[in-house]
Amino acid sequence: MKLHKPILTFLLILPVTWCSVAYGQTERNIKELKNATLPDLIGYALLNQPGVKQSLIDEEIGERDIKSAISGWFPQINGTGTYNNNLKQQVSVLTMGGVSQQLVLGTRHTSAFTLQADQQFLNAGLIQASKASKYYRQQYKQNTENTKINTVVSVSKAYFDVLTSKEQLKIIYENIARLEKQLKDAKAQYDNGLVDKTDYQRAQISLSNSQADKKRAEELIKYKYVYLKELIGYGGDQDFSLNFDAVKMENEILIDTNLKETYENRVEYRLLQTQRELQHLNTNYNKWSFLPNISGFINYNWNYLNNNFGDLYDKNYPSSLFGLKLSLPIFQGTKRIQELKKSQLQEQRIDLDLVNVKNQIKSQYVQAMATYKANLNDWKTAGANVEISRQVYQTIKLQYDEGIKAYLDLMTSETDLRTAQLNYLNALYSLLASKLDVQQALGIITVNQ
């Protein structure tokens, strides 16, 4: 199998090394990707992939939510204005010396403008918002990190798929070249009466099948390019091509199979831990709800009174007020107690989620490592089979040319060689994909913000 060694070593490099240059994109790379390496693709995806952009926007939205929630600690200043037309004024009866007189109270037209500032001093909801802001920020960043890690994995797998497909296409081209020569030789032998027509016809059939395989592979690779562009958020009409970096890193080809899973390395586990902290704060909030709310206020009023609307705003009768307010909810039908118990149960539920995700991480790691080991063995076996199949084909080809072997034997050996080469590439892609799965299960694929 003629797959260059530098290419193999590059394909098996840890994705974590690619992420270190993810943000080192030049202006050219941001606009277009020509002869792009995997670090180029990852860097572009982390800057332009819609899912990543949405996560970053979610962070900004979350920051606005946090600032909105804790803004209640600042003075709340409000202005109001009123106008009243007393269509039927209130009348009071005044009795003096046995004589009753009707007294009209107030004026026909009244208006007031009030400017008031309120300040919270003790408020359970604001205390919770202040304490929870740290964990909400952490949660938003962890969601973004999770999105970026998934993007690195999916882009890497799609990149490997394209490159192995290109190698498969090269194998098909080589096979077609061999079959065209075999068809030419069979035709010459048939024309000279050395063999019957069946060798020539079999060569035609084999060539037609390989040409059909070529057409199928060419169409599929077009889709794989489009899918890769979709993953990185690349414009559909822009130039796009891939390339290798021949990096020799023999010491990073294999994974240390003695590594053990560390739960804290997994962003999914840390997300659950953050959720538990938030739920614990919610439990505390339900306890704080038994505390009173204490606030203060100060206002200034501009009051206008007159029986004639036209003269209403001629004279002002101002007033001002300062005060403190204490609100103590005494009994709410056990609502606060029920909410407290509910929050405590939700904490217990998240604790069980943490236990469950630990089991899932362990199971995922064991499965990924087992798959990797199996694929590694398949890859080594397939590589050995390629060399054996090549030797068999070359031997039978010489024997066929000398008239020792039948054309059917040559076809069989050629088919075995092509099958071994394709199996090798399939095993290689499976190995690359499973290595990414192991790295993701270990939580060692990280993205520096």
List phi, psi (to 5°) of 403.
Answer: 80, 15
Q: pLDDT per residue over 107-164, tens digit each?
A: 889 999 999 999 999 999 999 999 999 999 999 999 999 999 999 999 989 988 888 8
Give the length of the chain. 449
Q: Give the model's pLDDT for residue 89.
A: 81
Q: To the nearest whole number, what is the mean pLDDT of the chain?
A: 84
Q: How confident is the model at residue 6 (pLDDT cuts 50, 70, 90)?
A: very low
Amino acid at residue number 166: K
pLDDT of residue 188: 79
Alpha-carbon span 29 to 25, nearest angstrom: 6
153 vs 155: CA distance, rounded Å: 6
Count other Cβ atoms within 10 Å, centred on residue 64.
10
- 142-156, 181-195, 392-406: range with lowest mean pLDDT: 181-195
| Highest mean pLDDT pick, 39-43, 72-76, 288-292 | 72-76
Measured in degrees and rounded to the nearest 5, phi and psi for residue 103 equal: -120, 120
Alpha helices in 49-123 (DSSP H): 50-70
Judged by average pLDDT, the poorest of 63-67, 248-252, 290-294 is 248-252
Q: Does CATH place domain 5-49+123-292+328-442 in 1.20.1600.10?
A: yes
**pLDDT band for position 412 (50/70/90)?**
confident
Q: How far apart are CA 47 and CA 53, in angstroms?
A: 7
For 362, the enclosing helix (H) or strand (E) is helix 335-401
What's the DSSP call for residue 32? Answer: -
Domain boundaries, the chain: 5-49+123-292+328-442
What gap in Å lies between CA 407 and CA 427, rounded to an integer? Answer: 30
**pLDDT tens-digit series, residues 301-354:** 999 999 898 889 999 999 999 999 999 888 888 888 998 999 999 999 999 999
pLDDT of residue 164: 86
Confidence bin at 399 (pLDDT 50/70/90): confident
| pTM summary value | 0.80
